[in-house]
Chain A
Amino acid sequence: MASQGIWSGTISFSLVAIPVRLVKAIDPGRVSFRLLHKKDYSPLARRMFCPEEETMVPPDEIIRGYEIGPDQYILMTDEELESVSPERSRTIEIIDFIDMKEVDPVYYDHPYYLVPSKGGEKAYRLLVEVMHRTKKAGLAKFVLAEREYLVAVTPRDGALALTTLHYSEEVLPDEDLPPQKGKIAAEEESRIRKTIEHMIEDFDPGKYADERRKKLMDLLATKAKDKAPVEAPVVEEEEEEGPADLVAALEESMRKVKPH
């Protein structure tokens, strides 16, 4: 992963500060299809497009606008956005350490990894190791683009994972859902319990991923018999992806529109 990261800054706890980058932990594209141009089989990329000028707009010509009326916007530069909470836009400050078991999974939103930047390797390793030993997670708030996130930082296989959490006002209470009334018949419960006990296995998520992949591969295998794969034209790498934060913001907005 040559990724420059979604964000870069510092993670701190008490008087220790570690330079880090935020990178993806999830890559949904690995067994999915790509959109191609029918004409030349070149992969398509998502770009911002100005409908008025009918041109592609590079990241440095893009600005965020808050709509106050039809076609009326309040413009916000990246600097102004960072300025809303300047203490949090480049620093993930761990406020408390917590026992991750106390966190109801309903709060979990999206996972990322943190990787150490130059000079931060040792303190990073230390934070991973001591959180692992004490079985604790760090709780912090930080700002990425226009959003402030409450996050939990946890050790995972020797790395720091960062999971964004929902704010409690976003979590809908479930107490008002009516549980079923009436007594549980003892025989029904024991039957259900027995069925479950017979079906206990070890958690093996790879199995389900393989099944999904196999279905796809079967389809592709029958296709490959009829026709050879097509080849996309070679394109020079694009020099620049644009400001990482903006790319992240775009990804974030894409994630939101994904049907759920």
Chain B
Amino acid sequence: MAGATIWKGYIHFGATDVPVKLHTAVREERIQFHLLHRRDRIRLRQQMVCGYEKQPVPSEEQCKGFEVEDGKYVIVDPAELEQIAPESSRMIEVHEFVKTGQIDPIFLDRLYYLEPDTSDIQGKGFNALVRALKELDVAGICTWSMRKRSYFGALQARGKMLRLSTLRYADEVIPVRSLELKDVPLSEKELKIGSELIEKLTAPFEPGKFENEHQKKLQEMIEKKARGEKIVVLAPRRLKPTGEDQLLRALEASLKKAA
């Protein structure tokens, strides 16, 4: 089952409005731990602490500031923030369409499924929009606001359905150049053997084949501990890094193994 409807609105572009309902696309169920104080097993809480006084600060003594230069802040009060908060609206406004291949996946954040809102009798165009997006292989770049937050997203067709991904803002993505990676020369031979190896190790993507086995093992360990059984602690496997001078040999041996 697709998730419950979380929001209703309409997609607006040009002179067209398509009423839709938003559903969540992913449901995560994981074993949850709490953080405890080791010596008295008291459950800890998160607390905002003053960096200067090293003391917890209750919410009424907190304020919001924007850092204009190192250590200097412009204080903004909640009423002013309210002013720039997005007005609530039911509109997903499409500003432009882009070729789907142009969207760098690093921008993709949360994904929602859209269904036509048939309770709106004015509403139509859903199927036509799906078809057009598909045939033109484009995504609609749009903005909307939901629960007092503004979102930036991409509207795409998938099968007979529409999907809406929220996108991360460009200034939230850390550029690769800030990682300061060194350029290391590689020989054509290393590249050739490496590429061959990758081609040999390529398989189709079958997500169903991967189960979260770890979750089950973790559950078993918890149960074992609950029964008071002793746990044998195993050291994590650590691989010996392949040295620079061994790289070519390791690639050749890998290729032989894969053959």
Q: A33-B65, A189-B132 are known contacts. Are A205 and B198 too (CB-CB below 8 A)?
A: no
Partner of A195, one of B15, B44, B49, B165: B15
A256 to chain B, nearest CB (A): 8
Q: A36-B62, A61-B37 are known contacts. Are A68 and B257 too (CB-CB below 8 A)?
A: no
8 Å CB interface, A37-96 against B = 37-53, 56-57, 61-68, 71, 73-76, 79-91, 94, 96
Bound-state Cα–Cα, A234 to B27, Å = 44
Q: Is the CB of A57 within 8 A of B250?
A: no
Complex contacts, A171 vs chain B, CB 8 Å: 25-26, 207
A24 to chain B, nearest CB (A): 6
A211 to chain B, nearest CB (A): 9
Bound-state Cα–Cα, A45 to B232, Å = 37
Partner of A45, one of B28, B48, B233: B48
Asked if B121 is an interface residue, CB under 8 A from chain A, the answer is no
Q: Is the CB of A102 within 8 A of B124?
A: no
Q: Is the CB of B65 within 8 A of A41?
A: yes
Question: What is the interface residue range for chain A against chain B?
Answer: 35 or more
Bound-state Cα–Cα, A246 to B107, Å = 26
B114 to chain A, nearest CB (A): 8
Bound-state Cα–Cα, A82 to B30, Å = 17
Bound-state Cα–Cα, A124 to B38, Å = 39
Complex contacts, A235 vs chain B, CB 8 Å: 51-52
B177 to chain A, nearest CB (A): 8
Name A47's closest neighbour in chain B (CB-CB).
Answer: B49
Pairs across A and B, CB under 8 Å, 13 listed = A9-B238, A13-B254, A14-B257, A25-B106, A38-B63, A40-B53, A62-B36, A88-B214, A139-B205, A167-B211, A177-B161, A195-B15, A224-B74
Given contacts A25-B173, A82-B236, 19 further A-B pairs with CB under 8 A are A13-B254, A15-B250, A37-B61, A47-B49, A48-B35, A49-B47, A52-B37, A61-B37, A65-B43, A84-B218, A96-B203, A99-B205, A129-B194, A133-B195, A139-B205, A170-B27, A179-B126, A195-B16, A203-B99
